[in-house]
Amino acid sequence: MLNGLVTATIIDNQLTLDYQDNQSGIANITIRGTSNGKTVDDTFVVNVGAVDNPPTVLNPITDVNVDEDA
């Protein structure tokens, strides 16, 4: 887990990024390659933008009927 925002995994030389629900922000991801006893690191930035979700009703209001001039 990186910054609580992105989970990064590498399987068969394929990098997969999984994003946390309802989160946005920036994550710095560092990848390390190793060959013949030598290593190299590279870091890149993932910017997860906010999504404008439609509003939801948590507690619906029941219908109220009132007679005119009541």
Give pLDDT tens digits for 45-59: 999 998 888 888 999
Residue 3 has pLDDT above 60, yes or no: no
pTM over 0.75: no
As a whole-number percent, the residues of the chain with pLDDT over 90 amount to 54
Position 70 confidence tier, pLDDT thresholds 50, 70, 90:
low
Phi-psi region of 64 (alpha: psi -120 to 50; beta: other; left: phi over 0): beta
Give the C-alpha separation, 33 to 12, whole Å: 13
